[in-house]
Amino acid sequence: MKILVVNGSPRGEESVTMYLTRAFLEGAGWNEAEIIDISKANVKGCTGCFSCWEKTPGKCVIEDDMKQFIPKLVEADVVITSFPLYSCFYPGQLKCFADRMLPIALPFMDKNAASGGHPLRYDLSKQRQFYISTCGFWTAEGNYDSIIKLFERGGEADNYKAFTIFSGQGGVFGIPELSEHTKPYLDAVRRAGKEYADGEISADTQAILSQPIFPREDYEKFADGSWDIQDNE
């Protein structure tokens, strides 16, 4: 089984989201997963030339790392996208990465897409997708609406909780002094990985993952105090 992790954080392996991703992989037993680190990759922005549809079908004409990444994406059995939330959406470099996946689609219109769309060039019906993300607010609820709308555009919004871990309070995972508080959450992430590898994440595990690690008042006081500046407002 080929497991591919797309680490979309500009901080690379230092991203706090990777604490969750590594726990998920450990729980699933996917120790040989390949990780694409966007922060170290050469991925230019899509120019909208449509050469991958007309002149070189299925192949982008831009000479960069996407030439090796796209075959990996097509061949993977499971693709896990790991990213921190920036301005309530993907970080910029990950958005470039997503835009550059245009070659895997065909130019023709998909008659079955309600709002319009394009069919895939390859049969990816058996490929499983999972998304892991952290944000700096006390809760994930309400902060991932733009990401969920993206899933909705792909027809998956009704079931998004089955293939995502969205966590608030992301900054606490990288602080050793808080490990006694973060360990139960990371243990639940490991359990989620095992359950996902076996079929699907249970409702009980999802319920644990949806709970904040600290109460809002405590977390926001801690978060405000972590900055080496004064709030003069």
C-alpha count within 13 angstroms, C-beta hemisphere, residue 212? 17
For residue 41, pLDDT beyond 60: yes
pLDDT of residue 2: 98
State pLDDT tens for residues 162-212. Answer: 899 999 999 899 899 999 999 999 999 999 999 999 999 999 999 999 999
Mean pLDDT score, 103-111: 95
C-alpha count within 13 angstroms, C-beta hemisphere, residue 168? 19
pTM given for the model: 0.94
CB 118 within 8 A of CB 84: no
Burial of 143 (0-12, 13-18, 19+ CB in 10 A): middle
CB 181 within 8 A of CB 34: no
Residues 6 or more apart in contact with residue 151 via CB below 8 angstroms: 157, 160
pLDDT of residue 151: 86
Phi first, then psi, for residue 156 (nearest 5°) are: -120, 5
Q: Which domains does the chain have, with CATH numbers?
A: 3-225 (3.40.50.360)
The percent of residues above 70 in pLDDT, for the chain, comes to 97
Q: pLDDT class for 231, splitting at 50, 70, 90?
A: low
State pLDDT tens for residues 71-94. Answer: 999 999 999 999 999 999 999 999
For residue 160, pLDDT beyond 60: yes
Q: pLDDT class for 233, splitting at 50, 70, 90?
A: low
Mean pLDDT score, 14-21: 95
CB 119 within 8 A of CB 106: yes
pLDDT of residue 214: 97
